[in-house]
């Protein structure tokens, strides 16, 4: 259940019998012709659908993350690592204060990996709490389902192109883009990243069929839900 659909009494009642919750992490950054909020949209949606049958509260997605390399693209918002770590620590502290002792982070943005290290550090200081970090799109079963559809995929390519991340009136190219040199890309400042990427797609086709994407999505939801059920 979305926290947006609950009041404080409902949360208080929940933690009397269950201490699990979900915190989705996203980003606001360029995704070629897809929504700038793609990572946030996907992380929150997979969280809500995974938690729905279990009634587990899903907190609003943290829509800003770590994406300095895309700061050459308009609309991208990036935090500093120290800011992000401080923000997450305060969120973890607040969740624990409310009564949540098991927090599943559902991450939708690769640049947010420092959050996993922060979670380990926080548990060192809070041994009575647990945090799981789940990159939903590259978890084993979901990654396998993607590879079976198309082994060539990258940021802002077909792998993130769902009906809910597309923009009305935005045409999707019917072609495949050659994969960029990721190792070289990581050595470049933001303005050179934009020159190298052009539209922002890392490589691969821009779109696959809705049926193929629905199959991948179903795996992602079930894999995320399994983490909650086994916890």
* pLDDT tens digit sequence for 44-85: 999 999 999 999 999 999 999 999 999 999 999 999 999 999
- pLDDT above 90 covers a percentage of the chain that reads 98
Q: Where are the domains of the chain?
A: 3-229
Mean pLDDT of 154-162: 98
Q: What integer is the mean pLDDT of 103-107? A: 98
Query: For the segment 5-37, what is each residue's pLDDT rounded down to a tens digit?
Result: 999 999 999 999 999 999 999 999 999 999 999
Which residues, including other chains, have CB under 8 Å from residue 67's CB and lie 6 or more apart?
Answer: 27, 28, 29, 76, 77, 78, 109, 111
pLDDT of residue 20: 98
Q: 80, 145, 136: which is closest to 105 by C-alpha?
A: 136
How many degrees, rounded to 5, is the angle at CA 117 between CA 159 and CA 216?
A: 20
- Please tell me the pTM assigned to this model: 0.96
204 has which bridge partners? 177
Taking the C-alpha atoms of residue 71 and residue 94, their distance in angstroms, rounded to an integer, is 30
pLDDT tier, 171 (very low <50, low <70, confident <90, very high otherwise): confident
Over residues 89-107, mean pLDDT: 98
Q: Given this model, what pLDDT does residue 109 score?
A: 98
The stretch 135-139 carries a mean pLDDT of 98
pLDDT, residue 229, reads 97
Instruction: Tell me the pLDDT of the chain averaged across its residues.
Output: 97
pLDDT one-digit tens code per residue, 206-225: 999 999 999 999 999 999 99
Question: Average pLDDT in the 104-129 region?
Answer: 98
Class at the top of the CATH hierarchy for domain 3-229: alpha beta
Q: What is the pLDDT of residue 161?
A: 98
Residue 122, pLDDT > 90, answer yes
């Amino acid at each position: 259940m979305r926290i947006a659909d609950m009041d404080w009494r409902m949360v208080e009642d929940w933690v009397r019998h269950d201490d699990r919750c979900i915190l989705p992490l996203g980003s606001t950054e360029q995704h070629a012709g897809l929504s700038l909020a793609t990572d946030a949209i996907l992380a929150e949606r997979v969280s809500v659908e995974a938690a729905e049958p279990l009634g587990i509260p899903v907190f609003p997605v943290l829509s800003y993350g770590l994406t300095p390399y895309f700061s050459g693209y308009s609309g991208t918002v990036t935090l500093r690592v120290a800011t992000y770590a401080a923000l997450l620590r305060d969120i973890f502290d607040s969740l624990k204060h409310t009564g949540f002792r098991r927090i599943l982070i559902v991450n939708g943005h690769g640049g947010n990996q420092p959050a996993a290290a922060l979670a380990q550090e926080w548990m060192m200081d809070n041994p009575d709490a647990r945090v799981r970090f789940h990159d939903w799109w590259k978890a084993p079963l979901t990654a396998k389902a993607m590879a079976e559809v198309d082994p060539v995929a990258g940021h802002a390519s077909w792998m993130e192109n769902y009906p809910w991340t597309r923009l009305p009136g935005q045409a999707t190219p019917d072609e495949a883009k050659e994969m960029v040199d990721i190792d070289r890309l990581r050595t470049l400042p933001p303005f050179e990243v934009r020159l190298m990427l052009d539209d922002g797609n890392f490589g691969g086709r821009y779109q696959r069929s809705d049926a193929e994407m629905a199959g991948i999505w179903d795996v992602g939801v079930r894999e995320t839900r399994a983490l909650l059920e086994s916890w």
